[in-house]
Amino acid sequence: MNKFRNFCIIAHIDHGKSTLADRLLEFTRTIESRNMTKQVLDNMDLEQERGITIKLHAIQMNYKSLDGEEYILNLIDTPGHVDFSYEVSRSLAACEGALLVVDSTQGIEAQTISNLYLAIDNGLEIIPVINKIDLPSAMVDDVSSQILELIGGKKEDIVKASAKVGTGTQDILEAIIKKIPPPKIDNTKPLRALIFDSLFDIYRGVVIYIRVVDGELKEGDEVNFYFSDKTFIAEEVGILKMGRKRTGKLESGNVGYLICGMKDVNDCKVGDTVFSSKQQISEPLPGYQEVKPMVFSGIYPANTEDFENLRDSLSKLKLNDASLTYEPETSVALGFGFRCGFLGMLHMEIIQERLEREYNLNIVTTVPNVEYKVYKTNGEMLVVDNPSIMPDPSMIDYIEEPYIKSQIITPTEYIGNIMKLANDRRGIYKTTNYLDPKRVDVQFEFPLGEIIFDFFDKLKSTTRGYASFDYELMDYRESSLVKLDIMLNGEPVDALSSIVHRDNAFDWGKKLCLKLKELIPRQMFEVAIQAGIGNKIVARETISAMRKNVTAKCYGGDISRKRKLLEKQKEGKKRMKQIGSVEIPQEAFLAVLSIEK
Amino acid sequence: MSGLYLHIPFCSKRCNYCNFYFSVNKKLIPDYISALKKEINLTSEKYHSIEFDSVYFGGGTPSLLSESELSSILDTLYSNFKISPYSEISIESNPEDLDESKIKSYINKGINRLSLGIQSLNDNELIFLSRKHNRIQSLEVINLVKKYFNNYSLDIIYSLPGQTFENIKDTLDIFIQTEVPHISAYTLTFEENTLLHKNLKDKLISKNSTDIEADLFLKLSSYLNKTGYSHYEVSSFSKSGFESKHNSKYWTYTDYIGFGPSAHSFYKNKRWNNYSSLGKYIRLINENKSPIEKSISLNQEESKFEFLTLSLRHKGINFDVYEKLFNEDFKIIYDDVIKILKSNELAEVKSGFIKLTDKGYLLADEICSRYF
């Protein structure tokens, strides 16, 4: 009889996924509770701080069921953010079942629904769990109805739990055994294993996390990666407990890791299929996609001499994060840096923070933008991921921008606010579905460029934190877009250019000029801030000249004190970017982000 | 020629705007004087080859010293240093400490310049500055000083919160009427560790914006200029021939040797300063140890930076002197800077030097930290 059960947990941020995972690990004695740091699955510092899982991991538990049998449970963790939805889909594909965890005080959220549909599409058995039932504000009945509305089934099949205090842990484990089908096992078929994650180990190279679908993987096998088309020798194969546990082989149905002397994480693409190169190569496992960055921004060292450090740091980050892209670029304003591509805004923030915290770099980030398709009058199509390479308006026939399909789940009383926000962001209303009398699922299409700035924050504040949001890329559409340039004392500052919709350009230019006026300190001379489209100035602000910066007195010939004071001022100036005669503080390059639309 | 500076670290009380080191314990004066004289006796040998043409008693409040105390310090100086007969010998004084006999005694001891801390001739302003003297006292003392001293200076502190230029003019007009040859005019600063700073932080008082400060500075400068005073340093104005010889040494990169607690010295491209604590100073001297707290030799870059910043506070950068000191042509190296400063009316270039305008003086620190 087949003792494997492979499952994952679908939950919205803060609904208790990591705490529930901790309880399962404790209950199955995979880990002793006294050795636990809170939420072991999120083992990157940044993840723990933000309370979110950004990279997936897997762990194996042994559970002796009430039926007296011992089972092997593989929990595959999924990232909890929309930026990583493809990775979510691949980890779902490695499972036969999923726990759907819903916070009894919050109800179901957009992200949960989209991941739930992904799971159902992948044929997963769903075990609904209502969490946090110990809280006085728990709405167990309401949330039960919401769940039944979505997945059908019987009310009594919903497990009620409190991961915090440990209620329901055994019920969940029993449900996993009983309801989730065991994987189909056939060790005689040619090997096919699904890659659902990888990490880079400085001693061992790339460690590949796999689910063996067909056949058996043994150390010494020559393995081939279908999409990257690379061949390696399996040096070490094992399962994932609290750490890696070498077993020498992995049979079909099981989850584990493979180390094969791979040095470049790009050779190991999530969703790719591992074959045995000696056996006849069959079809790859379905669902593979090339992951493409959607949001782009320039990252520059604040001190030009840190360019090489930045390059090294990015290459180290890339070892663990195949979805990060970067290419050298030059800005007139900022010097040498990199144009980086990210899966989304959260991904971008994480990379920035890691560069600053883990690699101690002082960086300047430019305003993020999406990738535009610019069709020129000569028939050429140019992909523009940086406003500064936008061709002159006279050479442009038309421009296309990416659109997304979005799902917003909200209590009904906020529909009005959301409509207004969507309108401000050029949203196209599609449909509304009532999940229950109090909660709706509102669907819009948006230009991606309109939601990468601060849409999520705005949505949260306009709905007092109740709405949730999920999106997927749809297509490219023609839009009336223009490049808005910023000039300081007549000199264009390439790093401050942005691409905006023509209808918003005046308003936007005005707000941007005002914001820059706030952020750029007074200088020795008047500074004119202008926003322009082509040759036309659409907004102007003036920073009046600094009037006074002089020490009145040097007591008794104390010149050293004065020199120190001036040297400190000099240091302060070094941290600014000098553009023409104007000194610009680093924050100014992200000014756009703090503007109210 | 070089300068001698004597720091007299006693005051009868702390003014609310001052964070300078001093003691109110006058009982320590005798110990201090003997330590000071010992410091002079022990270190003067190094300076036997050079001649001095300025002696400056600064503080603190040097006018707190008695005639005999001052006299004994001066005697020690004369017996240890080569002091030119044409020297400027200055003393800083507070109006409340002076009477005719004290003024006469200064003259008798060869003191030929007196700097009087008037600060304001408006009683409300003096109360705001927590000064001990008042307008009437000040006017009397100014007349007495004028009677005995050919060369003297009056101090004014301005840009008090809410003060208008008319208010400042009330004080200035009296200065001008007395035909004082030198005026030091300081904008009020809110130094850390002062009562004024605390009151500002506690929002009991407000501070003028830099725009207001700048307006007052320009109005005061042009008013004094019109009435015959030349603006020869950021905060200093004088009639022709009455620039402070001693203070100018600070700005012209000339040597000066300081004695007493917290005194600063500059000699042979080296700067040092004594400990500021009076107790520590006296103890170290009595133990035959050096009272020097810190000493640094300026490297080429630092001395160039100092030369430029000090010159710009004063009468400008002399191109020949710069070339002699640093072996490069200022006009070529800083061609851009000269052009920018000139075109923005921050500086004027005249025969052989570049000097900041009044508008430029206001930005002296900004200019130096930005371009040098």
Any chain B CB within 8 A of the CB of A575?
A: no
Query: Do B7 and B121 belong together in one domain?
Result: yes
The answer as to whether B265 is a domain residue is no
Residue of B363, B367, B371 for testing the chain A interface, max A β-carbons within 10 Å: B363
- Give the Cα separation of B78 and B58 in Å (integer): 18
Co-location of B85 and B147 in the same domain: yes
Looking at this protein, which amino acid is placed at residue A556? G
Question: Do B87 and B193 sit in the same domain of this protein?
Answer: yes
A570 CB-contact burial (10 Å; exposed 0-12 / middle 13-18 / buried 19+)? middle
Domain CATH for B351: 1.10.10.920
Spatial separation of the C-alpha atoms in residues B154 and B146, rounded to whole Å:
11
The continuous run of DSSP H or E covering B301 comes out as helix B300-313
For residues B84 and B217, membership in a common domain is answered with: yes
**Which residue in B211, B264, B313 is closest to A547 by CB distance?**
B211
- The answer to whether the CB of A126 falls within 8 A of the CB of A113 is no
Residue A176 CA: distances (Å) to CA of A179, A384, B268? 6, 48, 86
Measuring CA to CA, which residue among A85, A158, A168, A169 is closest to residue A121? A85
- Domain membership of residue B256 (yes or no) is no
Contacts of A430 (CB under 8 A, 6+ apart): A405, A443, A444, A445
- B311 and B238 inside one domain: no
Structure tokens at A441: 């699922």
What interface predicted TM-score (ipTM) does this complex get? Answer: 0.91
Number of structural domains in chain B = 2
Domain edge (last residue) among B220, B250, B280? B250
Residues 339-358 of B with CB under 8 A from A: 340, 344, 346
Q: Which residues of A touch B309 (CB under 8 A)?
A: 562-563, 566
**CA–CA separation, A188 and A230 (whole Å):** 24
In a domain, B278, yes or no: no
C-alpha–C-alpha distance, residues B183 and B120, integer Å: 12
- Give 3-state DSSP helix, strand, coil % of chain B, rounded to 5: 45, 25, 30
Nearest Cα to Cα of residue B279 among B18, B16, B35, B83: B35
CB proximity under 8 Å: B 185-204 to A: 186-187, 189
State whether A566 and B266 contact (CB < 8 Å).
no
**Residue in chain A nearest B308 by alpha carbon:** A563
Q: Is residue B285 part of a domain?
A: no
B109 and B201 assigned to the same domain: yes
SS3 A184: coil
Tell which residue, A567, A571, A549, A573, has the closest CA to residue B296: A567
Residue B180 belongs to a domain with what CATH number? 3.20.20.70
**Closest alpha carbon to A16 in A98, A101, A91, A85:** A101
Q: Is residue B269, in this structure, part of any structural domain at all?
A: no
Long-range contacts (CB closer than 8 Å, 24 or more residues apart) made by B30-35: B31/B282, B32/B260, B32/B278, B32/B281, B32/B282, B33/B69, B33/B72, B33/B73, B35/B281, B35/B282, B35/B285, B35/B286
The verdict on B222 and B338 lying in the same domain is no
Length of chain B: 372
Give the torsion sign (CA, A354, A355, A356, A357): positive
Is B264 within 8 Å of A560 when comparing Cβ atoms? yes
| B contacts of A565 (beta carbons < 8 Å) | 365
Q: Measure the CA dihedral B101/B107/B110/B112, to 10°.
A: 130
Task: Let me know if residue B180 belongs to a domain.
Answer: yes
* Residues in CB range of B61: below 8 A, 6 or more apart: B8, B10, B11, B12, B22, B92, B93, B94, B97
* Whether residues B236 and B304 fall in one domain: no
Last residue of some domain: B231, B250, B269?
B250
Contacts with B, A 541-570, CB within 8 Å: 546-560, 562-563, 565-567, 569-570
- The pLDDT tens digits along chain A (597 residues) read 589 999 999 988 778 888 888 899 889 988 765 455 555 554 555 444 443 343 447 899 999 999 999 999 999 987 656 667 788 888 899 999 999 999 999 888 877 887 888 888 889 999 999 999 999 999 999 999 989 988 888 998 999 999 888 899 999 999 999 999 999 998 889 999 999 988 888 888 899 999 999 999 999 999 999 988 899 999 999 999 888 899 999 999 999 999 999 988 888 888 999 999 887 667 898 888 777 888 999 999 988 889 999 999 998 888 777 788 999 999 888 889 999 999 887 888 889 888 988 888 988 888 889 999 999 999 999 999 999 889 988 899 999 999 999 999 888 999 999 999 999 999 999 999 988 788 899 999 999 999 887 788 888 889 887 888 888 889 999 999 999 999 999 988 988 898 999 998 999 899 999 999 999 999 999 999 999 998 899 999 999 999 999 987 777 778 888 888 898 888 888 778 788 788 888 778 877 666 765
B275 in a structural domain = no
**A549–B362 CB contact, under 8 Å:** yes
Helix (H/G/I), strand (E/B), else coil: A147: helix
Pairing of strands B113-119, B82-93: parallel
Does the CB of A578 have a partner CB in chain B at under 8 Å?
Answer: no
Give the structural domain span for B104.
2-250
DSSP state of A368: P
CA distance linking residue A160 with residue A564, whole number of Å: 66
Q: Which residues of A103-142 are buried (b: 16+ CB within 10 A; e: fewer)?
A: bbbbbbbbbbbbbbebbbebebbbbbbbbbbeeeebbeee
Nearest to B53 by CA among B112, B3, B111, B106: B3
Taking an 8 Å cut-off on Cβ atoms, the answer to whether B366 and A569 are in contact is yes
Structure tokens at A317: 């980050």
Does B235 lie in the same domain as B306? no
CA atoms within 13 A on the CB side of B301: 2
Mark whether B34 and B169 lie in a shared domain: yes
Check CB contact under 8 Å for B250 and A557: yes
**Interfacial A residues in 466-525 facing B (CB < 8 Å):** 524-525
- With beta carbons under 8 A apart, name residues in chain B contacting A551: 189, 365
DSSP class per residue in B55-94: EEEEES-GGGS-HHHHHHHHHHHHHHSEEEEEEEEEEEE-
Chain A residues close to B91, C-beta within 8 Å: none
Residue B88 lies in a domain: yes
Cβ contact B20–A555 (<8 Å): yes
CB–CB contact A557 B258 (8 Å): yes
Strands (E), A448-480: 468-479
